[in-house]
């Protein structure tokens, strides 16, 4: 786990800051509240908050809420909760919408200085005029309207005197620029949507490129960290700030610098808000917090800890290349943490009844069992041993494959923390299915090795009379190929078997009583957390991750 002895590894952003020798690093995490946070955001959060903390700085949480069509209060509170849960504290909670007045004032100043103009071309015309990747664009016939004319039109736009799409405010930069972002980008559009924070005050809303740099500057952000796809926007970011500083607008602006890092990609899943929204809305998953989802809320429900997600982000590093991380990197962090911290329990997922014929029907012996094999501090618990127990169906084979170490007819196996038993009889139903085993126990094997023979297998079990019926949910990858986006439609790559529900599991009583969110290792099977759906009458467990399996 992350600790003082395990410092954050060197990366290009840290090196850059070292060279700058600045005295404070101010960052921001700027999500648009149009969906739930996922692992890609976790990487950005860890980077932004982590680097600021490391250099005596601070980080703002800023909602980039400039498109009221897509944003909502629900998303906003989910984002706040997730950032807090991950373990980070922001200095200020900010909203781009808090700057709408300043942004507007600045836009008027840019109009007055001749750096912005109102265009009245249609969206399609503007697209045509923009040119292509290899062809320069051409100037709009409205490009040379006077500042007075532009100001009047822009104010009319603001005052709701025009319809959506009729006009747009653009920067006057260079229609022939090889960087398409500089071909007179739009900075304000007419939109009459109700905004969840500013209500119906505005008929015009600023666009991302215009809003983001100014918001950073207003908040005195020093390091504006974003993903690679914004590299092309950096010249625009700087252009706007330069013009804004030179303008007459009464807005105090700092000097943020944008730096881009590679986005996170994870095998067998998708990390894009748009696609995650589709998975939720089309019902491919049970919700944003479905334990199969790569969202923070999904991982939390699955049983991942905040520490494990932070550790994952530390391990994957920060570079300028877009990494595709194997799922095992994610699984190993939570497995490591839970191996150290999770108490052990026994649970039989697919039960097979075993009668210990040598054990009296009315006898129950209480065994003292340790909660963790390597950590005595985790204590012990009492476990009853009775005549009837359940073992895993897969722990018995009539015709064992090579190297099978579990129970076979006439063979012996250790019941974990209990006796060695021998299988005497196999009871089958009319279809030849094994429904019950008759075994005898060796009374001289409790807490000691049997004499004169070695018993190689150890299997888990529960007392039939003292275990509790439970539901256990086993998860597999959401997609059945490592690169679902390579599919013509990624929806076709959805794994139909990503959720396996075992309705008839039997868990020992002490696990059945656990609170929602608590985690155990079910011995030999993996780590499990108590799901939100769990009740004392009907416990429900999620498999967080399996144990490493090196057999075969």
* Binding residue for RNA, selected from 70, 80, 162, 275, defined by CB under 7 A: 70
Binding mask 274-303 for RNA (x = CB under 7 A): ------------------------------
Of the ranges 153-161, 194-202, 316-324, 537-545, which one interacts with RNA (CB under 7 A)?
A: 316-324
Does 352 bind RNA (CB under 7 A)? Our answer is no
Beta carbons of 87 and 306 less than 8 angstroms apart: yes
Q: Which of residues 231-270 bind RNA (CB under 7 A)?
A: 231-233, 262
Residue with Cβ nearer RNA (433 or 448): 448
- Measured from the CB of residue 226, what is the shortest distance to RNA in angstroms? 9
- Only one residue has tokens 């929806």, namely 491
DSSP code string of 346-380: -EESSEEEEEETTS-TT--EEEEEES-SS-GGG-E
Written as six digits, the tokens of 82 are 């997730």
336 versus 425: smaller Cβ distance to RNA: 336
* The only residue of 12, 92, 242, 365 in contact with RNA, by rule CB under 7 A: 12
Binding RNA (rule: CB under 7 A), the pick from 3, 281, 535, 550 is 550
Are 364 and 385 in contact by the 8 Å Cβ rule? The answer is yes
d(CA 167, CA 117) in angstroms, rounded, equals 10
Strand 223-227 to strand 186-190: parallel, antiparallel, or no bridges (unpaired)?
unpaired
Read off the DSSP letter of residue 118.
E
Q: Which of 86, 106, 271, 325 binds RNA (CB under 7 A)?
A: 325
- Residues 291, 255: contact at Cβ < 8 Å? no
Q: What is the nearest approach in angstroms of RNA to the Cβ of residue 414?
A: 5
Least CB distance from residue 337 to RNA, whole Å?
Answer: 11
**Residue 547 found at the interface with RNA (CB under 7 A):** yes
Report H helices in 395-523.
509-512
Cβ atoms of residues 263 and 40 within 8 Å: yes
Question: Residue 161 interacts with RNA (CB under 7 A)?
Answer: no
x-marked contacts with RNA along 357-386 as a string, rule CB under 7 A? ---------------xxx------------
SS3 (DSSP) at 462: strand
Q: How many positions of this chain bind RNA (CB under 7 A)?
A: 90
How many Cα atoms sit within 13 Å of 218 on the Cβ side? 24
Sole binder of RNA in the list 146, 322, 492, 504 (CB under 7 A): 322
Q: Which is nearer to RNA, 232 or 398 (CB)?
A: 232
Q: Which of 339, 357, 393, 518 binds RNA (CB under 7 A)?
A: 339
Which of 80, 315, 381, 422 is close enough to bind RNA by CB under 7 A? Answer: 315
- The 77-116 contact track toward RNA, x by CB under 7 A, reads ----------------------------------------
From residue 48, alpha-carbon distances to 28, 84, 89, 116, 227 in Å are 6, 14, 11, 33, 12
Under the binding rule (CB under 7 A), the answer on residue 316 touching RNA is yes
> Could you say which of 64, 216, 290, 531 contacts RNA (CB under 7 A)?
64
Which range binds RNA by CB under 7 A, 76-84, 384-392, 401-409, 464-472? 401-409
| Interacting residues with RNA between 23 and 62 (CB under 7 A) | 30, 32
Q: Which is nearer to RNA, 290 or 325 (CB)?
A: 325
Of the ranges 47-55, 288-296, 329-337, 529-537, which one interacts with RNA (CB under 7 A)?
A: 329-337
Site for RNA contains 143 (CB under 7 A): no
122 near RNA, judged by CB under 7 A:
yes
What is the closest distance, in whole angstroms, from the C-beta atom of residue 538 to RNA in the complex? 25
- Which residue's structure tokens are 């917090």? 289
Considering only 146, 179, 513, 532, the residue that binds RNA (CB under 7 A) is: 179
d(CA 347, CA 506): 6
Minimum Å gap between C-beta 412 and RNA is 12
Is 289 or 311 the residue whose CB approaches RNA more closely? Answer: 311
**Within a 10 A sphere around the Cβ of 112, how many other Cβ atoms?**
16
- How many angstroms separate the CA atoms of 330 and 336, rounded? 10
The reply to whether 337 sits near RNA by the rule CB under 7 A is: no
Q: How many CA atoms lie within 13 A of 516 on its CB side?
A: 9
Contact range with RNA by CB under 7 A, out of 149-157, 300-308, 321-329, 496-504: 321-329
Cβ proximity of 159 and 167 under 8 Å: no
- Of 104-112, 299-307, 402-410, 496-504, which segment contacts RNA by CB under 7 A? 402-410
Asked if 328 is part of the footprint of RNA (rule: CB under 7 A), the reply reads yes
Q: Cβ-count burial of 430 within 10 angstroms (0-12 exposed, 13-18 middle, 19+ buried)? A: exposed
Q: Is the distance from CB of 266 to CB of 330 less than 8 angstroms?
A: yes
- On whether the CB atoms of residues 193 and 68 are closer than 8 A, the answer is yes
- DSSP H helical segments within 11-146, as ranges? 12-20, 39-54, 73-86, 100-112, 123-129
Q: Which of 112, 142, 197, 416 binds RNA (CB under 7 A)?
A: 416
71 contacts 33 by C-beta, under 8 angstroms? yes
DSSP3 helix / strand / coil % (the chain, rounded to 5): 30, 25, 45
What radius of gyration do the chain's Cα atoms show? 31
Nearer to RNA by C-beta: 149 or 332?
332
What residues from 437 to 466 belong to the interface with RNA (CB under 7 A)? 445-449, 457-459
Binding to RNA by CB under 7 A, coded x per residue (else -) over 502-521, reads -------------------x
- State which residue, 11 or 238, has the beta carbon closest to RNA: 11
HSE (CB half, 13 Å, CA atoms) of 384?
A: 17
Q: CA separation (Å) from 241 to 25, 29, 189, 255? A: 19, 20, 20, 8
Q: Does 324 bind RNA (CB under 7 A)?
A: yes
| Given 97, 102, 269, 418, the residue binding RNA (CB under 7 A) | 418
How far is the C-alpha of 374 from the C-alpha of 348, rounded, in Å?
23
Token pair for 382: 């009492």
């Amino acid at each position: 786990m992350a600790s003082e002895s395990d410092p954050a590894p060197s990366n290009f952003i840290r090196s850059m800051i070292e060279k700058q020798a600045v005295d404070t690093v101010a960052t921001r995490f700027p999500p648009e509240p149009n969906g739930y946070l996922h692992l890609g955001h976790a990487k950005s959060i860890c980077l932004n908050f982590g680097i600021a903390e490391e250099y005596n700085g601070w980080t703002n949480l800023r909602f980039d809420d400039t498109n009221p069509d897509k944003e909502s209060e629900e998303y906003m509170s989910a984002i706040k909760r997730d950032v807090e849960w991950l373990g980070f504290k922001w200095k200020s909670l900010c909203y781009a919408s808090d700057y709408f007045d300043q942004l507007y004032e600045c836009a008027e100043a840019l109009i007055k200085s001749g750096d912005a103009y109102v265009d009245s071309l249609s969206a399609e015309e503007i697209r045509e005029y923009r040119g292509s990747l290899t062809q320069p664009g051409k100037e709009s016939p409205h490009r040379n309207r006077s500042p007075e004319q532009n100001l009047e039109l822009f104010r009319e736009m603001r005052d709701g005197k025009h319809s959506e799409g009729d006009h747009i405010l653009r920067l006057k930069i260079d229609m022939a620029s090889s960087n398409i972002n500089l071909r007179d980008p739009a900075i304000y559009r007419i939109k009459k949507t109700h905004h969840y924070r500013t209500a119906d005050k505005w008929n015009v809303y600023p666009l991302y490129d215009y809003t983001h740099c100014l918001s950073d500057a207003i908040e005195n952000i020093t390091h504006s960290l974003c993903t690679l796809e914004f590299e092309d926007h950096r010249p625009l970011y700087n252009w706007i700030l330069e013009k804004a500083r030179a303008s007459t607008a009464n807005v105090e602006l700092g000097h943020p610098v944008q730096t881009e890092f590679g986005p996170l990609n994870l095998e067998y899943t998708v990390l894009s808000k748009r696609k995650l929204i589709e998975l939720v809305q089309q019902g491919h998953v049970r919700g944003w917090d479905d334990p199969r989802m790569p969202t923070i809320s999904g991982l939390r429900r699955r049983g991942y800890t905040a520490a494990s997600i932070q550790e994952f982000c530390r391990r994957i590093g920060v570079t300028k290349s877009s990494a595709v991380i194997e799922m095992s990197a994610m699984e190993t962090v939570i497995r490591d943490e839970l191996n150290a911290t999770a108490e052990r329990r026994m649970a039989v997922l697919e039960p097979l009844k075993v009668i210990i014929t040598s054990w009296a029907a009315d006898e129950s012996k209480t065994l003292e069992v340790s909660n963790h094999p390597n950590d005595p501090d985790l204590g012990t618990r009492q476990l009853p041993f009775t005549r009837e127990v359940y073992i895993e169906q897969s722990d018995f084979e009539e015709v064992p494959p090579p190297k099978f170490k579990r129970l076979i007819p006439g063979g012996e196996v250790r019941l974990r923390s209990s006796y060695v038993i021998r299988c005497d009889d196999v009871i089958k139903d009319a279809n030849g299915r094994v429904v019950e085993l008759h075994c005898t126990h060796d009374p001289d094997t409790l807490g000691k090795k049997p004499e004169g023979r070695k018993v190689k297998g150890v299997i888990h079990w529960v007392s039939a009379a003292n275990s509790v019926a439970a539901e256990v949910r086993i998860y597999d990858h959401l997609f059945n190929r490592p690169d679902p986006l390579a599919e013509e439609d990624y929806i076709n790559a959805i794994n139909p078997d990503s959720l396996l529900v075992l309705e008839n599991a039997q868990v020992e009583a002490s696990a059945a009583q656990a609170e929602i969110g608590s985690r155990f290792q079910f011995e030999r099977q993996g780590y499990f957390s108590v799901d939100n759906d769990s009740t004392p009458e009907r416990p429900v467990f999620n498999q967080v991750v399996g144990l490493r399996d090196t057999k075969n």
